[in-house]
Chains A and B, each alone.
Chain A
Amino acid sequence: PLGGLASGKPRVLCHEAEAFLSTGSELVYVYDLEGGLLTAAYRFPGQVWHLELLAPRRALYVLCAGKGIYCLSLDHLSRSTSQDDGDSEDGELPSSVVPVGPDACVLPDASLCAFTVLDGTLVTLAQGPTQWKIQLFERPCPGEDPQPGGQIGEVELSTYTPPAGVPGKPADPCFLPVLCCVSPPASRVPHGHLWGSGSFTLKEALFGLLFGADATLLESPVILCGLPDGQLCSVVLKALVTSRSAPGDPKALVKILHHLEEPVIFIGALRTEPQAEEAAEEMPPGEDVHSDCLVALGHYGRTLAIKASWDKAGNLVPELREYCLPGPVLCAACGGGGRVYHSTPSDLCMVDLARGSTPSDPTQPEEGPGGLPPLLCPASLSACSVVTLSVSSRAPEGDTELLALSAKGRLMTFSLDLNSEVPGLSAVSRADTGQKIKELLSGIGNVSERVSFLKKAVDQRNKALTSLNEAMNVSCALLSSREGPRPISCTTTAAWSRLQMQDVLTATCLLENRSAFHLGQGWTLCVQVLTSCSALDLDSAGAATTYTIPVDQLGPGGQREVTLPLGPGENGSFDLPVTVSCTLFYSLREVVGRALAPSDSFEEPFLDEEPPDVLPEQEGICLPLSRHTVDLLQSLRFPGLAPPCTQAPPLRGPADPVDTFLEARREPGSHPSGPASLRAAYLPPSVACIKVSAELLRAALEDSRLPLCCATLRWLLAENAAADVVRARALSSVQGVAPDGADVHLIVREVAVTDLCLAGPIQVVEIQVESSSLADVCRAHHAVIGRMQTMVTQQAAQGSSPPDLRVQYLRQIHANHEALLREVQALRDRLCVEDEASSCATAQRLLQVYKQLRNPSLVLL
C-alpha cells in the first residue's frame, strides 16, 4: 500500500501487533498488524538507515543518514496528534505525517553507519576517515533527559578504503555494516526483555568458544560486527569501557572471527538442536531461545554457519561451515527450527540448518550436538524481491510468521507451518473464514507481484532474442552482398554551410536502409572522421574523431541523415583530405546484458552492477558501410562565378576579427599586408600540371556533347556541391576559393604532345592547378591525381591499349625524375641538419625541385 521504494535501506520490525517499517526514505510507518491499518507515519530529517526497538522501554531508535540517532517513545506515539503535513508526496500517505524534529535526536553524529541498542548502552559504528570505529554510549532516553549519554568506550576496527567521494562529502556507502549484540545465556540481566531487537542469546558452549573465557566469565555481551569488506569481528562489550584519554587497543579488544570476502548483510543466530527435555522444563515459556548456531550471510550468497561441537576426545571445537546460497541476497532472517530465510530479487528461499542434526547413529545418543548439514537446499517460498524481512514474535507455537516488504512496497506476512506433517485441511470455523479469505487475497496479490516480475524478465529476454535475430539478418545481408548495391548503405557528401557566423564545411552521411530488416535498439552508426596528417608536421598521424549516433528504429526503406562538421578546426585550419568512414555497430552488452542481469528492475544502487561475465570478450558486431574521402576539389567554392545578386560578401574563409581589425587600421596607400596578400604580391603562384591523353578521357567521360575540356572540369568538380555554376556554364577554366581562403585556379586545355609517340603527336588534356598557396596546390594536385588513378584503373579494366610509345624518351623522363627524387631526399636530409641560414637556401632549392616534379612531361595514356 505504499509508494515505490526509494533507494535506501529498508527495514521492517515487528513487536507484538505492531510493525515498524522504513522504506529507505525519510519516513517510518507504524502498522497495526491485526487491523492491517497504518496508524502513524513519521518524517525524519534524513534517509532512514536503521530501526531498532527497545521493547521494554517502548522506545524506537532510528538512524538517519548523515544526521544521527533519533529516539521516539512509543507511548507518545499512540497519542500523537494528527498534524497535517500538507505536502504528502507519496499519494497514499495518511493525513497525519508527524515530522520528527531535532528534539528527538539523542546522538547527533553525521558519520554513524549502524547501531544497536542495549538496555543500558547504545553501541554505534561510525565511519572514521580511515577506520571503522565502535563507540559505546550510555543509552540516552527520549524526552526524560536531554543529556546524551557520556561516551563510555571506543575502539577502532580494521582499516578500510574510503569510498572515493567528493572531498568533504563522503559518498553514500552502498553497503552498510551490520551490528548486533550477542549475550551469554547466564547473563543475569533478563535478556530478551532489556535488549533491543538486534540482539540474541547464544548457548554457553558456542559463546565461550567464539569469544573466549574472559567474556564467558564476565558474562559480558559481545558486539558482533559485519563489515562491507567481509570481515566479521567481535568486541567484548565489558572490555570496551575505556577512558577518553585512552581508547582501547584494537589488538586486544577486537577479534576477527571470519572473513566472508563479500559484504556482510546479515548476522543472526538460530537453534538447530531440538530442545532437550530438561532444558525445555527449565526454561520459562516465552523466554528467548538460546541459539546454538551463528549465521552470517554475504551479499553474493556466501553463508557462514558456526556451531560448537565436541571432538572425539571431548574437546570443544568450533564447527564452521561455508555454504553458497543463490545471490545476490537482499535480506535475510533467522526463524525458529533452524531455518534461515533469505531473499534474492527473484525468490524468497528458506534453508534448513537443522536438517543435518538428526543423530546419524542412534547408538550414541549422548554424542552431543549433531553437525551442520553438508549442503543446503533452498526451498522456495514463491515471493520475489523481498527487500526486508523480519520474523514476527506473535506467531503461535511451532509456526513462524514472516513479515516481508517487497520491492514494490507491499507489506506481506507469511505464515509458515513448520510441522509439515500436519494434515493440510482442518475444519475451518466460521470465524476463521474471514481470515482465510484475507490470506487468499494476500496470496493472490503475492502471486501477481511475482508473476509481473517474472513476466517482465521473460519479456526482456524475448525482446533481446528478437533483437539478436534481426541483428543476425542484417549482418548476413550486409556481409553476403558483395556485388551490386548494398542493402544498407551510407553515402557521404561534403558541403559548405553557414553556422554561427562562420562558414563550416560539413559532411552529410545518409544512412539508407533498403533491406527488408529493421534496425532497432542496439544499433549505432559510427562515423569516423580521419584527417590527413599535416604536411608541416610529418611525424604526427592524422587526428581521428569518432561520432556515434544511435540508430533508433530505422525500418525498411527508412533514411537517416547525419551532418558532421569537418572544419575549420580549432586553429581555423583545414586538414584536407579528410576520410569519413561509416560503420554500423551492434552492442551486445546493451541488448543482451540487460536481459541477463536479473535485477534491473530495482533501483537500488548495489544492484546496478555489471552483469555477470557471461558475455564474450567482444562487446558487439561491427559492420563497415562506406568510406569516403573529402578532398580539396570537393570543398572549393566559386564566389566569382555566383550570380551577383545572391553573392555573399567576399568569402575569404572564416573572417578573423583580428584581420578585419588590421585591415581597418591599415593606412591608405600602403601595401596590402597579411601573409596571403604578401605572398600574392611577391611570389609567383605555384603551379602543378597533369597531362592525360584525350582519348582516355573521352572514353572515360562518355560525354561527347561538350568540349572535352569542359567535360573534364565538370568531371573533376562532380562531387562539389557548389559547382553547379560551373556546370551551368561550359567553362574550361575556373577560379575557386580553397577552404583556407587562398585562390585556386584550375585550367584545362587540350594540347598536342609530339615527341612522345612514334605514331605522331597525340592529343592530350592538360590540367593545370595554380594557386598562391603552395599547400592548396598540393592538395588540389593530390585530389586530381586521385581521380585520375581511379579513372585509369577503371579504363584499364576495360582493356584499352595504349599507342606505341617512344621508349627511349620515356626512359629519359624516368631517369630525370629519379634524379630529382634523389635530390629531394638529399635536400630534405640536409634540411634536418643545417643551420638556419643555409637551410633557407636548401629550402629554396627544394621548392624548385618540387615544382619540376609537379610538372612532368609524362602523359596518362
Chain B
Amino acid sequence: MSHQMPQGPNCLDLWREKNDQLVRQAKVAQDSSLSLRRQQLAQDALEGLRELLHSLQGLPAAVPALPLELTVTCNFIILKTSVAQGFTEDQAQAIQRGLERVLETQEQLGPRLERGLGELWDSVLHVSSLLPELLPALHCLAGLQAALWLSTDHLRYLALLLQSLNGSQSGSSEDLLLHLKTWSPPAEESDAPLILQDAQGLRDVLLTAFPYRQGLQELIIGNLPKALSSLHEVASGLCPRPVLVQVYTALGTCLRKMGNPQRALVYLLEALKGGSALGPPLLEASRLYQQLGDTAAELESLELLVEVKNCQALSVTQSSEAPQLLIEVELLLPQSDPASPLHCGTQSQAKHLLASRCLQTGRAEDAAEHYLDLLALLLDGSEPRFSPPPSPPGPCMPEVFLEAAAALIQAGRAQDALTVCEELLSRTSSLLPKMSQLWKDARKGTKDLPHCPLWVSATHLLQGQAWVQLGSQKEAVSEFSWCLELLFRATPKDKEQGAPSNCEQGCKSDVTLQQLRAAALISRGLEWVARGQDTKALQDFLLSVQMCPGNRDASIHLLQTLRRLDRRDEATAFWWRLEAQTKLPQKDATWSLPLYLETCLSWIRPSDHETCLEEFRTSVLEPRDL
C-alpha cells in the first residue's frame, strides 16, 4: 500500500526545523535566569508546539511524517506537564491522539470505537514492529504514558505497557521495577528531530520515581518494612542530589518509626550534608531526639529549622531553584500530605513548634521569647507572605495567644501576659456578646444567656493567674469569677457558636470544659485560702471535686482545707473515697488538653502532693488505731 506524502518534503523539513527551533527556545528558557522571561519563553514555545501539532495533525496520517509528529507530541506533553506542574486530562488525550494517528496509517483504526488507552497501546506496539522508524518516538511517548499512569496510580496498566514494550509475553511477573529495569529504549538517531527529554531520560526518572513513590505511600500508611525496602532501592540507584536528600529523610523517618534511632540518625546526618532543603531533615531530627529524650539536641534542631525557614522566607523572592522544563521525579510523587516526612510546614509553624516544645520541657524563658516572636510574626500585618498562622492540626489562633500568655506567666512575666490577654480580647471584642447586655442579664438572672467561646473564659483564667503572680488578690478573684460565670454558661453541646473557627470544635470538647472549670475553681479557692477565707475556699474545692471527680489536685486541696477547718469526719470520709478511687484503674488518661491548660493546671497542683497524702493517711489512721 502506497502512502502519498500530502506535502512536498520541504514542508516536512520546515516543520521539523520549527520543532527544533521550539525545543531550542525551551532550552533557552530553561537557562534563562529571569523567571518572568523564562515563563514567557516557555509559554510561547508551548503555544508554538501546539500550533505545530495542529498543522501536522491536520493532514492524513502518513508514515514518513509520523516520527516528527510523535516527537512534537512528546515535546508538547513534556513542556505542558512541566509548565503546569502536573499531568492533566489534556496530556492523556494528546497521547491517545498520537496513537490513533499511528493506527490510521495502517488503516487499523476501524470504526471509531471507544477504545481504552491500554488496548490502543497494544495495537500500536503490534503495528510498530512493522515500522521500525517509529520506534524511538513511540518509546518516548510510552515513557510519558508510563509517567502519567504512575502519577495517577494506574499501576496495572503500567505493568502491561512495560511488558509489551519489553516484548515479554509472560504476564506472570508483576514486578514493575524489574520491567522498568529491563526496558531499553532504542537509541535516538543522530538526525532525528530534537526532543526535550528522550526515552532513556524518562526511563531514568521513572526508575527513581516509581520506588520512591511506593516507599512514600507505604510509609504514610504505615507499612514500614515495605517502605524501607522501596526507599533503599531508590537510595541505591542513581538519583539527583535534592531527591537523595528527600529519600534519606524518608529513610530516617521510616527507621525511627521502626525503632532504629541510631540508623535513622545516620541517614538524617547524610541528608543534612546534602545541603539543600534542610527543613524536613531538621524536623525529623527533632522528632528523633524527642524520642531519644535528648531535649537539648531536639530544641537545637528546632532552632535550626526556624532559622532555615526564616532564610527561606527572605529568599522567596529570588525563587532559587526553578523547576526544570522536563519531566522530573518531583512531578510524579504523591500529593503532599501533612503525614509525609517531606512536609515541614511554614515558618510560623516551625516557630510554634519550637515555642511549645520549650514550654513543655520547662524552658519557660525561652518559650516566652519564642512565643513573643511568633506573635510579632503573625500580627505584623503588612507583609502577608511572612505570616501564615499555624494551620490545623495545630492550635487555632486564640490558643496560640493563650499559650503565649501561659509561657509568660511561667517565665514570671505576669505583666506581659496580661498585655497579651488584653490584646486577644480587644482584637476579638467584636465577636463577643455585648458585655453590657451580659451584665444586665446577669443581674436580671435571665435564663437566655449569651454564649462565649471557651477561649474567652480561658483568657480570664490566665489573667487571674497573672494577677495572682502580681500579688493582686482582688483582681485575681474577680477574673476567676468572671471566668466561672462564662464557663457555667457554656454547654458543650452548643454548636451554634457565634464565631466558628476551624478548630473550635476541638476547643469545645467536654473534657476541656470540665478541666477548665476545675482549674478556675481551684484557682479561686487557692486565693480564698491565701486570704484566709477557708469556708469560701472549701466551697470552691467541693464544687471542683463534684465537677471533676477524678481530679486528684482538687481532692487534695479539699482534704487539706477540711483538715485546716478541723472537719475531721468529713475529711476521713472523703479520704476513704479517694483511696477507693485510686485503686480503680485510671481511665481517660490519654486525652490531651490544650497546652495552656496543662501549664495552668501545673501551677495549681499541690506542691507536696504525695507527702501530704502520706501525712494524712497516718493522721487519719491514728485515731482508728486508738
Q: Are A120 and B389 in contact (CB-based, < 8 A)? A: no
Contact bitstring A119-161, B, C-beta under 8 A = 1, else 0: 0110000001110000010101000001111111100000000
Q: Are A147 and B34 in contact (CB-based, < 8 A)? A: yes
Q: Which B residues lie within 8 Å of A162 (CB)? A: 89
Evaluate whether A214 and B384 lie within 8 angstroms (CB atoms) in the complex, with A219-B427, A315-B433 already known.
no
A315-B500 Cα distance, complex, nearest whole Å: 13
Evaluate whether A316 and B336 lie within 8 angstroms (CB atoms) in the complex, with A150-B316, A238-B387, A241-B384 already known.
no
Q: Are B501 and A241 in contact (CB-based, < 8 A)? A: no
Stretch at the interface among A204-212, A298-306, A847-855: A204-212
Q: Are B387 and A218 in contact (CB-based, < 8 A)? A: yes
Does residue A253 face the partner (Cβ distance < 8 Å to B)? yes
Q: Which B residues lie within 8 Å of A214 (CB)? A: 389, 396-398, 501-502
Stretch at the interface among A57-65, A243-251, A277-285, A486-494: A243-251
Which residues of B (352-393) have their CB < 8 Å from a CB of A?
378-379, 381-389, 391-392
Does residue A239 face the partner (Cβ distance < 8 Å to B)? yes
Evaluate whether A146 and B438 lie within 8 angstroms (CB atoms) in the complex, with A212-B501, A213-B499, A214-B502 already known.
no
Contact bitstring A196-223, B, C-beta under 8 A = 1, else 0: 0000000111011100111011111100
Q: Which B residues lie within 8 Å of A601 (CB)? A: none
Q: Are B391 and A252 in contact (CB-based, < 8 A)? A: yes
Evaluate whether A138 and B385 lie within 8 angstroms (CB atoms) in the complex, with A146-B34, A310-B434, A313-B433 already known.
yes
- Report the minimum CB–CB distance from B611 to chain A (whole Å): 43
Which residue from chain A places its CB closest to the CB of B427 in the assembled complex? A217
Evaluate whether A219 and B384 lie within 8 angstroms (CB atoms) in the complex, with A245-B336, A312-B448 already known.
no
Stretch at the interface among A101-109, A751-759, A807-815: A101-109
Q: Which A residues lie within 8 Å of B36 (CB)? A: 105-106, 108, 140, 146-148
Q: Are A213 and B453 in contact (CB-based, < 8 A)? A: yes
Evaluate whether A313 and B498 lie within 8 angstroms (CB atoms) in the complex, with A146-B36, A147-B34, A218-B389 already known.
no
Q: Which B residues lie within 8 Å of A216 (CB)? A: 427-428, 430-431, 499
A709-B578 Cα distance, complex, nearest whole Å: 132
Q: Which A residues lie within 8 Å of B386 (CB)? A: 241
Give the residue of A130, A136, A213, A237 whose beta carbon is less than 8 angstroms from that of B396.
A213
Q: Which A residues lie within 8 Å of B138 (CB)? A: none
Give the residue of A152, A186, A248 whose beta carbon is less than 8 angstroms from that of B316.
A152
Q: Are A314 and B441 in contact (CB-based, < 8 A)? A: yes
Q: Are B382 and A188 in contact (CB-based, < 8 A)? A: yes
Contact bitstring A381-410, B, C-beta under 8 A = 1, else 0: 000000000000000000000000000000
A203-B446 Cα distance, complex, nearest whole Å: 29
Stretch at the interface among B262-270, B338-346, B552-560, B602-610: B338-346
Contact bitstring B435-459, A, C-beta under 8 A = 1, else 0: 0011001000010111101010000
Does residue A35 face the partner (Cβ distance < 8 Å to B)? no
Does residue A242 face the partner (Cβ distance < 8 Å to B)? yes
Q: Are B90 and A129 in contact (CB-based, < 8 A)? A: yes
Does residue A163 face the partner (Cβ distance < 8 Å to B)? no
Give the residue of B94, B316, B384, B438 whose beta carbon is less than 8 angstroms from that of A314.
B438
Q: Are A213 and B431 in contact (CB-based, < 8 A)? A: yes
Q: Which A residues lie within 8 Å of B295 (CB)? A: none
Which residue from chain A places its CB closest to the CB of B502 in the assembled complex? A252
Q: Which A residues lie within 8 Å of B501 (CB)? A: 212-214
A106-B39 Cα distance, complex, nearest whole Å: 10
How many of chain A's residues touch chain B, expressed as a range?
35 or more
Q: Which A residues lie within 8 Å of B34 (CB)? A: 146-147
Which residues of B (498-512) have their CB < 8 Å from a CB of A?
498-502, 504
Which residues of A (42-87) have their CB < 8 Å from a CB of B?
68
Does residue A454 face the partner (Cβ distance < 8 Å to B)? no
Q: Which A residues lie within 8 Å of B428 (CB)? A: 208, 213, 216-217
A187-B383 Cα distance, complex, nearest whole Å: 12
Give the residue of A204, A240, A253, A314 whose beta carbon is less than 8 angstroms from that of B434.
A314
Does residue B93 face the partner (Cβ distance < 8 Å to A)? yes
Does residue A171 face the partner (Cβ distance < 8 Å to B)? no
Does residue B43 face the partner (Cβ distance < 8 Å to A)? yes
Q: Which A residues lie within 8 Å of B401 (CB)? A: 217
Does residue B582 face the partner (Cβ distance < 8 Å to A)? no
How many residue pairs, one in A and one in B, have C-beta atoms under 8 Å apart?
193
A217-B453 Cα distance, complex, nearest whole Å: 14
Does residue A700 face the partner (Cβ distance < 8 Å to B)? no
Does residue A826 face the partner (Cβ distance < 8 Å to B)? no
Q: Are A246 and B396 in contact (CB-based, < 8 A)? A: no
- Report the minimum CB–CB distance from B536 to chain A (whole Å): 30
Does residue B35 face the partner (Cβ distance < 8 Å to A)? yes
Which residues of B (78-115) have their CB < 8 Å from a CB of A?
88-90, 93-94, 97
Q: Are A212 and B500 in contact (CB-based, < 8 A)? A: yes
Q: Are B385 and A152 in contact (CB-based, < 8 A)? A: yes
Does residue B241 face the partner (Cβ distance < 8 Å to A)? no
Does residue A541 face the partner (Cβ distance < 8 Å to B)? no
Q: Are A129 and B89 in contact (CB-based, < 8 A)? A: yes
Does residue B317 face the partner (Cβ distance < 8 Å to A)? yes
Give the residue of B319, B342, B433 whose beta carbon is less than 8 angstroms from that of A245.
B342
Q: Are A148 and B498 in contact (CB-based, < 8 A)? A: no
Evaluate whether A120 and B384 lie within 8 angstroms (CB atoms) in the complex, with A129-B89, A150-B317 already known.
yes
Does residue B474 face the partner (Cβ distance < 8 Å to A)? no
Contact bitstring A294-326, B, C-beta under 8 A = 1, else 0: 000000000000000010111111000000000
Evaluate whether A149 and B451 lie within 8 angstroms (CB atoms) in the complex, with A120-B385, A216-B428 already known.
no
Q: Are A168 and B90 in contact (CB-based, < 8 A)? A: yes
Which residue from chain A places its CB closest to the CB of B277 in the assembled complex? A245
- Report the minimum CB–CB distance from B337 to chain A (whole Å): 9
Does residue A657 face the partner (Cβ distance < 8 Å to B)? no
- Report the minimum CB–CB distance from A346 to chain B (whole Å): 41
Which residue from chain A places its CB closest to the CB of B97 in the assembled complex? A167
Q: Which B residues lie within 8 Å of A416 (CB)? A: none
Contact bitstring A246-264, B, C-beta under 8 A = 1, else 0: 1111001101000000000
Contact bitstring B37-78, A, C-beta under 8 A = 1, else 0: 101100100000010000000000000000000000000000
Highest count of chain B CB atoms <10 Å: which of A148, A216, A238:
A238
Give the residue of B40, B89, B451 whose beta carbon is less than 8 angstroms from that of A315.
B451
Q: Are B382 and A189 in contact (CB-based, < 8 A)? A: yes
Highest count of chain A CB atoms <10 Å: which of B36, B50, B424, B451:
B36
Q: Which B residues lie within 8 Å of A149 (CB)? A: 317
16 A-B interface contacts by CB (under 8 A): A68-B43, A102-B40, A108-B40, A108-B43, A121-B384, A146-B36, A147-B317, A150-B317, A151-B319, A168-B50, A212-B500, A218-B389, A241-B386, A247-B336, A313-B446, A315-B433
What 16 additional pairs, Cβ within 8 angstroms, besides A212-B501, A213-B499, A213-B504?
A68-B43, A109-B43, A147-B34, A148-B36, A150-B35, A168-B94, A213-B397, A213-B453, A214-B502, A216-B431, A242-B388, A243-B312, A313-B448, A314-B434, A315-B450, A315-B498
Interface residues of A (CB under 8 A from B): 68, 102, 105-106, 108-110, 120-121, 128-130, 136, 138, 140, 146-153, 162, 167-168, 186-189, 203-205, 207-209, 212-214, 216-221, 237-243, 245-249, 252-253, 255, 310, 312-317, 368
